[in-house]
């Protein structure tokens, strides 16, 4: 009976939310329509985030999402002209929710759930049921520049989520993700008005936070701008014994010339975890076990995870005439990671487990860039927007690792035992931790062309395009540096879409798109073909949707189906054996349906099926780690009679999911409630903003996700109730 209740509730709630929102436009029509002397609140375009004449798309009513976002070589496109389902989260939302990372921001998205990388603490984003790693997150349109495992919000102005396979738009992601969608981070730029803000805060566990955000414009008409951000977090988290230290620095500069625009960014992030709680591997023969207390920590006290990254980008755009523009961009990143880890393998329903030590060091060097041109012309009654671009990406990784005895040491998930750190034994192919050799190189290059044709006074938009992508991927031995395997493959990824504006406020669209995915690399404990690289493969997507824009609130609906070759482990051999098909329905709502009330949320229904499996034994069963129902309902309310005070609430529901391909290990559904408040006032003639937030208000214990890495069903325990308060002062 309980299962039935939780299964039906999300759909009912989502339907009620969407119906109520639509009804509010009629029931409150007199209140919703602006008076002659009253304007709907919007955000004025004050700076360009990408050195473009288009500038930063304006925020939608309510300020939580933007009216448009970046579509690769097509540039910034309004949501009603976009032949995809996308959401672009603003800096205002990031601030008011006191989000720490990309993962915190996309918790607002009903099509996204946050998981974790394989054997580490990397944020992993499941978009439409497909994994997108944080190292496949783009920065101002370029892949591979941001820190690999965790991206702090101090580096971002906006978070753009584009759903669906779209290798034509951005090219193949270097780490093999972006089949279900992609995430693009927009950097900060100096606004036209002087910006000087200092923020201090504290959260559960005693972790302190401090940040400085400065922005200035200089010279004639304020053409030159500088934006500086510095932030530091340090202390215990809400998880017992877990510690986190984060330092972030970034400088963004831009210049708005006559007929050209320039921008550049330099950033650094140092992220250190001590005693961080690991993921949980559950023996295949066991049923699903109960989640421990969410504050509980089963990490060994000597475990650490440290990463340091520095990066820089430059971008330029020049006008070639009234309706044509050319651009160029380039970026570099150097990264270093060092880990002493101890995973936990549970082998009994009472929580008995074994743990073993795994050390590794990784160094990355990334170079990336693109050039392009875009222009307009007419052929009779048809307006063409023609785009062409070329991109390149080069990465080199150095890796070495050491492991303790495979037998490990005994522990228990519910009553863990601390032990002295066992020595990491020399491993035959682990390499030298003091001098890691090059173990991988990836070289990606592509050429793309596109034509957006406009008919009937822009009521019909037809998009066609093609990207030719070449991928070179090489692997080398950890111990000798000799080439182990590799490949060079190329593929053409076409794109076709249509947008039809039934009315000024209603658009329908359909698209066919493909995702080119770099082949996976076999890895994991006990894998006999560890290190083997697999050739890239193509995923195919079909999608259709409708969008409604009232000016105050928006509604979207989409249906889609995507098929992808799938990789998993059979008899300790990693391989690309089968096919997975994800299809589903997405509903979303955003904006201000009633004065003083902002809404943001939606519903995603997913059917992720293993269509082809080895020997057919799991054929027709659900894919690992993909819930059937994902529901988000968020609201922000301006409290009447208290000027400057608003309160907000968000409910996140995720239905059951499986941790194994046989669908025998089922994670129960879970619902999380988050509450917050923001108060804007003046204090000693200064702007003061006070914020408070409580995540997981009811302090529920649950398994938040299963897997993410192909064929693996490791479990991640949910974060406990966490309270964070902060104060921001403007000078």
The whole-number pLDDT of residue 2 equals 35
CB atoms under 10 Å from CB of 317, counted, come to 24
Q: pLDDT digits over 165-214, tens only?
A: 888 988 888 887 778 999 999 999 999 899 999 999 999 999 999 999 99
H or E element that contains 6? helix 2-27
- What's this model's pTM, rounded to 2 decimal places? 0.90
- Cα–Cα distances (Å) from 326 to 318, 329, 375, 376, 389, in that order, read 5, 11, 9, 12, 9
**Over pLDDT 70: what percentage of the chain?**
92
Which residues of the chain are modeled with pLDDT < 50?
1-46
Burial 325-362, CB ≥16 within 10 A → b, else e:
bbbbbbbbbebbbbbbbbbbbbeeeebebbbbbbbbbb
Domain 2-56+65-730: homologous superfamily in CATH: TonB-dependent receptor, beta-barrel domain (2.40.170.20)
d(CA 678, CA 328): 40
Domain layout of the chain by residue ranges: 2-56+65-730
Token reading at 591 = 């904006």
* Residues 80/84/90/95 CA torsion (nearest 10 deg): 140
Q: pLDDT digits over 537-588, tens only?
A: 888 999 999 999 999 999 999 999 999 887 777 777 888 778 899 999 999 9
d(CA 225, CA 695): 36
Helix H, strand E, coil C: the string for 279-333 is CEEECCCCCCCCCCCCCCCCCCCCCEEEEEEEEEEEEEEEEEECCEEEEEEEEEE
The whole-number pLDDT of residue 18 equals 35
The whole-number pLDDT of residue 524 equals 64
The whole-number pLDDT of residue 30 equals 36
Question: In angstroms, how far is CA 145 from the centroid of its own chain?
Answer: 14
Token reading at 180 = 């279900």
Q: pLDDT digits over 272-310, tens only?
A: 999 999 999 999 999 999 999 999 999 999 999 999 999
């Amino acid at each position: 009976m309980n299962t039935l209740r939780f299964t039906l509730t999300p759909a009912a709630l989502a339907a009620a939310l969407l119906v109520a929102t639509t009804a509010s436009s009629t029931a409150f029509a007199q209140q919703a329509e602006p008076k002659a002397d009253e304007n709907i609140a919007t955000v004025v375009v004050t700076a360009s985030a990408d050195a473009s004449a288009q500038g930063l798309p304006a925020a939608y009513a309510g300020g939580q999402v933007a009216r448009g976002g970046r579509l690769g070589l097509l540039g910034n496109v309004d949501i009603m002209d976009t032949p995809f389902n996308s959401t672009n989260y603003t800096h205002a939302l990031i601030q008011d929710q006191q989000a720490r990372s990309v993962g915190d921001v996309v918790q607002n998205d009903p099509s996204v759930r946050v998981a974790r990388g394989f054997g580490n603490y990397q944020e992993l984003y499941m978009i439409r049921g497909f994994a997108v790693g944080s190292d496949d997150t783009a920065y101002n349109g370029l892949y591979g520049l941001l820190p690999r495992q965790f991206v702090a919000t101090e580096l971002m102005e906006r978070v753009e989520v584009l759903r669906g396979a779209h290798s034509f738009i951005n090219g193949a992601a270097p780490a093999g993700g972006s089949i279900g969608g992609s995430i693009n981070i927009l950097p900060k730029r100096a606004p036209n008005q002087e910006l000087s803000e200092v923020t201090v805060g504290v959260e559960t566990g005693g972790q302190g936070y401090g940040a400085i955000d400065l922005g200035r414009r200089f010279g004639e008409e304020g053409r030159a701008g500088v934006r500086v951000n510095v932030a530091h977090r340090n202390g215990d988290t809400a998880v017992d014994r877990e510690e986190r230290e984060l330092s972030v620095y970034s400088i963004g500069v831009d210049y708005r010339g006559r007929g050209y625009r320039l921008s550049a960014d330099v950033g650094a992030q140092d992220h250190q975890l001590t005693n961080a709680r690991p993921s949980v591997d559950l023996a295949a023969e066991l049923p699903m076990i109960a989640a421990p207390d969410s504050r509980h920590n089963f990490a060994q006290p000597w475990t650490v995870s440290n990463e340091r990254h520095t990066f820089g980008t430059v971008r330029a755009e020049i006008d070639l005439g009234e309706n044509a523009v050319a651009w160029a961009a380039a970026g570099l990143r150097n990264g270093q990671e060092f880990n002493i880890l101890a995973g936990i393998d549970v082998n009994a329903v009472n929580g008995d487990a074994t743990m073993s030590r795994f050390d590794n060091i990784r160094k990355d060097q990334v170079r990336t860039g693109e050039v392009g041109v875009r222009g307009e012309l007419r052929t009779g009654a048809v307006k063409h927007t023609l785009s062409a671009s070329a991109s390149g990406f080069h990465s080199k990784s150095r890796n070495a690792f050491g492991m303790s005895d495979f037998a490990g040491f005994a522990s228990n998930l519910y009553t863990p035992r601390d032990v002295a750190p066992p020595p990491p034994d020399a491993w035959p192919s682990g390499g030298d931790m003091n001098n890691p050799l090059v173990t991988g190189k990836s070289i990606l290059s592509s050429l793309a062309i596109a034509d957006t044709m406009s008919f009937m006074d822009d009521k019909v938009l037809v998009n066609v395009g093609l990207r030719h992508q070449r991928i070179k991927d090489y692997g080398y031995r950890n111990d000798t540096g000799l080439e182990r395997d590799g490949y060079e493959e190329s593929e053409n990824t076409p794109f076709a879409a249509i947008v039809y504006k039934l009315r000024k406020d209603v658009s329908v669209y359909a698209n066919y798109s493909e995702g080119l995915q770099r082949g996976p690399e076999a890895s994991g404990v006990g894998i006999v073909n560890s290190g083997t690289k697999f050739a890239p493969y193509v995923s195919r997507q079909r999608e259709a949707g409708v969008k409604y824009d009232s000016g105050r609130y928006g509604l979207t609906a989409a249906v889609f189906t995507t098929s992808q070759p799938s990789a998993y482990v059979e008899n300790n051999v990693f391989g690309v054996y089968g096919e997975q098909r994800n299809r589903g329905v997405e509903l979303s709502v955003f904006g201000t349906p009633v004065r003083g009330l902002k809404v943001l949320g939606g519903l995603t229904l997913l059917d992720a099926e293993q269509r082809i499996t080895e020997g057919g034994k799991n054929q027709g069963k659900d894919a690992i780690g993909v819930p059937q129902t994902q529901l988000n309902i968020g609201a922000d309310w301006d409290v009447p009679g208290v000027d400057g005070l608003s309160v907000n609430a968000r409910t996140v529901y995720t239905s059951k999911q499986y941790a194994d391909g046989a669908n025998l290990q089922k994670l129960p559904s879970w619902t999380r409630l988050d509450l917050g408040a923001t108060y804007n006032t003046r204090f000693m003639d200064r702007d003061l903003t006070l914020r408070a937030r409580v995540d997981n208000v009811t302090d529920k214990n649950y398994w938040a996700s299963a897997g993410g890495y192909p064929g693996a069903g490791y479990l991640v325990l949910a974060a406990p109730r966490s309270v964070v308060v902060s104060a921001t002062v403007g000078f």
